Amino acid sequence: MNAVIKKLVAGFNDFRARYFFERQNLYRRLVSQGQKPKVAVIACADSRVDPAIVLQVEPGDIFAIRNVANLVPPFEVDEEGDVSYHGTSAALEFAVEVLGVEHIVVFGHAHCAGIQAMIDNQQQGKIAGRFIHAWTAIAAQAFHRAKTIDPNVSGEALARCCERQAVLVSLENLMSFPFIQERVDAGTLEIHGWYLDIVEGELTAYDPQRATFERLT
C-alpha cells in the first residue's frame, strides 16, 4: 500500500481503538437520537484550518461546511430548467431548516490561497483554474473594500485585510437567505465572523459595534 494511504489507514485504526471506543455511547446516541449540532461552521478546505481540531469539539457538536476560502455565496434561485449546483447553499439549508442550528460561524483564516487567487485576479487579471476563479469572485467586493480602507495597501497586508473583509461579505450574503434572515430577526439564530491567524494561533471575532476583529481569548 502507498505510504500516504497507509498513514490514513493507520490513523483510522488508531481512531477506532482509542477515540471511537472511548466515545462509543456518544456515537450510539448520535445515531439513535440523530445529530443535533447547535453550530454550523463555514470553514476553508485548507488542510491547516480543520474546525474540529482548532475548536477541539466532540462528534455531534458542529455541522462543518468547508469550501474554497470559507465563502457564502449570495442567495440565488435557478431559473426554470436551469440547474446549478449550490453545494454551500444546500448545506446551509440543511443546517438551518432541518437541524435548526442556533449559530453560524464564518471561519476565515490567514494565508488563504483562495483569497489570494481572488486578489491575483483583481490585480493582474490572472484567472485561477477552471472553477476557482468563478467561486472566489464571491469575495471580489472584499478587495475593493480593502482598497477603500487604504488605497496603498499591498502584498501581505492586502491579503490579511481581504481575508477579513471576505468574512464580512459572507456574513452579508448569509443574510440574503430568507430562512436565515427570518431566524436572525426572530432571535433564534446568531451569525458570527471569526478569523484564525495560523501563524500566531490567535482567534478573533468581528465586533459589529466597533467594526473591528477583536480577540476572543
Task: Kindly list the residues in this chain that would bind Zn ion in the complex (CB under 5 A).
Answer: 44, 46, 69, 112, 114
Closer residue to Zn ion, CB minimum distance, 109 or 183: 109
CB of 98 to Zn ion, least distance (A): 27
Closer residue to Zn ion, CB minimum distance, 46 or 63: 46
CB of 44 to Zn ion, least distance (A): 3
Give whole-number Cα distances, 20 to 28, 59, 141, 166, in Å: 11, 10, 43, 36
Give whole-number Cα distances, 161 to 40, 80, 87, 164, 166, in Å: 24, 39, 27, 5, 8
* Residue 89 and residue 97 in contact, taking contact as beta carbons nearer than 8 Å: no
CB of 136 to Zn ion, least distance (A): 10
Closer residue to Zn ion, CB minimum distance, 26 or 157: 157
Closer residue to Zn ion, CB minimum distance, 69 or 128: 69
Exposure class string for 181-194: b at 16+ Cβ within 10 A, else e = eebeeeeebebbbb
CB of 46 to Zn ion, least distance (A): 4
Closer residue to Zn ion, CB minimum distance, 69 or 104: 69
Exposed, middle or buried, 142 (CB in 10 Å: 0-12/13-18/19+)?
Answer: buried
CB of 50 to Zn ion, least distance (A): 12
